[in-house]
Structure 1
């Protein structure tokens, strides 16, 4: 809190600039009514400009036509300018309409202005009890001696047993109206501060995203090192004190049992006469739902920043690949230009030739070659009667016919298995024709052919394919082959 720091804050901090602005009553009252009071996180430019036009019309009726001469959209753009920084103007992906949200500095200034109003009741007991409870939790949570922790837990158990005995005996102590008001006002203040904290957490994530983008734009090293550093910073903010606290709060609030308990306790407390006399804000009854909405908005913002970062990295990879292609194209162009006109003089220098040293132990040992030994035997003619006609009895499978069979089946249905093809068009040449089908499937497995169909092989579902054939004696027999399911698809 020295003079130089305060002077810098007065010139640069948006909250101080808002408090020093001549339009501070308009800005603070309007933004509090539109964003803070109803817990609105984002509002479109058209809706916000319409609400501001109504506000300006009402003020001009009271203060004169020259009070606020500019249009609503001009005021909004002025408040979102870098020299003000009271609103954040941005565009959602896929839309061309501007969106507005409060900045954390503006919410801090509005909260400070709210604290300036005169409070009808200032409670101190509840805050003192909260401080003692926090110190007790810190002390108990950091005690490493098991004997001391057990003694502390036993003392609490004895105090609870004594209180249970008093209640059973008819001594039921109740809070008076002053104590109830004190604790309820403390609850309202902490609930409002918690809602304001969400914007600051979201702002911190956006600041991290901006730093990462700047680092990507100026990075000159390897992409792997860049990704390691980026992921390290992402993990750092998630593992920081703020990140762990927000994650614990979110896990606690996402419990359905905790939500039901909060709803029941709020309904019970708001029905008390002492609390009703304070005229609490209507949104107090659903403050835990406001926490959920604000937390979900923060989570969606983090997810959106991650998607934008991924697209940013993909664009950078595309630009690097394009630069490589441009370099290759320029080399090809220069090579074609030099093809007809050979350069004169020294084109390039090549290093002097070096001696290849080969150590004796690196050489393989001599291996003598094998010389075949031919036996001087006379070739005798055999007496067996061999049917040489079988040498010329070759089977030729017409693959064009098989390909036409597949295409004809796929005209009437999106996919067909090999077993269904064989059942519809029986095999004419037995196993040789089945092997030809498998050869077609192997040649187009996973890729589209010129005929416009693909083949998928499912190893997890084997099929049995049967066809009729003849044995050596010429009798009809049924043969079967078990193989993975082969599916032809369009």
Structure 2
């Protein structure tokens, strides 16, 4: 059986009412939700600390109940402000996040849209004005020009625009009067600007949320990815660096950012709005309209900051996740969470309302025997065994070959130095020694003895050849040294 147009329209309507925005407006407590959110969140206050939001919403409920707005026809939600805010987070009207180590709430794009719809519905009639029609026609004309790939048609339109501008310039240069618009027309222009500006907060929020949704998708895909780590790193790091181009909303915002992203553009917009507020027609605007008109530049600035902050946060999260990506650990965490959910489902089948589970307040301690209780004392628990006398028969000495690779033979070197007279040249003494005291380490020992007894360094360079125990040789060069045979004592 084919679907009728009525059935298709009804299904689209049912799907639309599942949107959090329409759910907010259609809910039982919609008037209170709109009022509370509009009081707490303003264009100059897009985020509110969680504790402050709970306090302000609780105060709002108390004031409305005290004023009698809790009868059968105008119900207020029950529960504490904390419970109400948690419900709003659950249904997608509030978004919790961390800013400067403080947990805050901000309105979701759906909540911003719902407040805008409620504001327009309660703000008076919607008029088909000349300004709004002209905006539509200009937008269609611009779209037609951009979409037309015929160079002749494009040139004709551009020439007509140039001719019209030249004619207006010539008229003014010729002393022609400037025809001012009447105040009613200027008022229509201002209302059209306000109508367009009211859409901006929801648009900015949708861009930020699309970036966050992309961030969650990337992290989820990364945790479930079984491809080689190098391939994962290249793909996701690139997506993290170019996150603004990863969603349709982000690409559209990137194009708009070229028009409004520069500080001088925001300053120019602020100056233009301030100048408009000084014009005579501005007195026709009511207080709310004047406040909204003045707040346009601030709304644009805060919206740009919100999107760029979401971009930086997404890039940081994706990059950090990639750098710490461990498929084995992530799989273990996923398995543990699934076990916990399975256990909870099993328990729910046999539990009754009011049943409690004692939480695991600490992990079991492994029995590893006795460990040192203090790490500040670096001394060993007991004194080492005393060294045995070298004269004992049970002392095992190294053999001659192992001893030959040891340190300097100080005893032999001292005896050899004592035969060299009062003064001697260290290089000549080393060359004249026996093979047992001509190892490289013995040269160092001889230098040490010379330094201890007293020595003089000359400007010449001495070169000696040392003999290793395996028969190989090595040459060393050093400053000439003249040493004493015995240690020099100071005079009394």
TM-score of the superposed pair, with normalisation by structure 1: 0.61
The DSSP-based 3-state class of the residue aligned with 1:101 is: strand
- Do the aligned partners of residues 176 and 216 (structure 1) sit closer, same or farther apart at CA in structure 2, a change above 3 Å counting? same
Q: CA deviation at 1:204?
A: 0.5
Alignment of 1:63-462 (within 5 A): 63=68, 67-81=76-90, 84-92=91-99, 95=101, 98-117=103-122, 119=124, 122-167=127-172, 168-231=174-237, 235=242, 238=245, 241-279=248-286, 280-317=289-326, 392=431
CA offsets, 1:216-267, max 9 Å, x none?
2222222233334435655486165433321232232233442332223212
Aligned: 1:49 with 2:54: yes
Task: Give the Cα–Cα distance (whole angstroms) in 1 for the partners of residues 166 and 301 of structure 2.
Answer: 37
Q: Deviations over 1:97-123 (max 9, x none)?
A: 532111111222222222222525724
Cα distance, 1:15–1:143 mapped onto 2, change above 3 Å: closer
> 1:428 and 1:14, CA in 2 relative to 1: closer, same or farther beyond 3 A?
farther
- Report SS of the residue matched to 2:198: helix
Q: Is the 8 A contact 2:21 2:110 kept in 1?
A: yes
The one-character-per-residue Cα deviations of 1:292-322 (angstroms, maximum 9, x if unpaired) are 2221122112211222223323333385599
* Aligned length, in residue pairs: 342
Q: Out of 32, 43, 65, which is 1:38 matched to?
A: 43
Q: 1:174 to 1:308 in 2, by over 3 A?
A: same
Distance in 2 between the 1:256 and 1:92 partners?
23
Q: Measured at CA, do residues 239 and 106 of structure 1 come closer, stay the same or move farther in structure 2, by a change above 3 Å?
A: closer
Post-superposition offset of 1:389: 6.7
In 2, Cα distance between equivalents of 1:49 and 1:233: 37
CA separation of 1:266 and 1:71: change in aligned 2, threshold 3 A: same
Displacement of 1:188 in angstroms is 1.0
Q: Distance in 2 between matches of 1:265 and 1:64?
A: 43
Q: Deviations over 1:122-173 (max 9, x none)?
A: 2421122112222332333344444444443332222112212322333322
Alpha carbons of structure 1 residues 296 and 431: separation in structure 2 relative to 1, 3 Å: farther
For the 8 Å contact 2:94–2:105, the answer to whether it is kept is yes
CA distance in 1, matches of 2:457, 2:294: 77
Q: Give the Cα separation in 2 of the matches to 1:21 and 1:322.
A: 41
Q: Classify 1:128/1:65 alpha carbon distance in 2 versus 1 (closer, same or farther; 3 Å).
A: closer
**Closer, same or farther: CA 428–224 of 1 in aligned 2, 3 Å:** farther
Deviation at 1:25, TM superposition (A): 0.9
Secondary structure class of the residue paired with 1:175: coil
Change over 3 Å in CA distance of 1:275–1:146 after alignment to 2: same
Where structure 1 has 5 or more consecutive residues not aligned to the other structure, the ranges are 324-387, 403-425, 434-467, 471-490
Q: Residues of 2 paired with 1:184 and 1:171: CA distance?
A: 24
**Cα-Cα RMSD:** 3.7
Q: TM-score normalised to the size of structure 2?
A: 0.61
SS in 1 for 2:324: helix
- Name the SS of the counterpart of 1:197 in structure 2: helix
1:100 match: secondary structure: strand
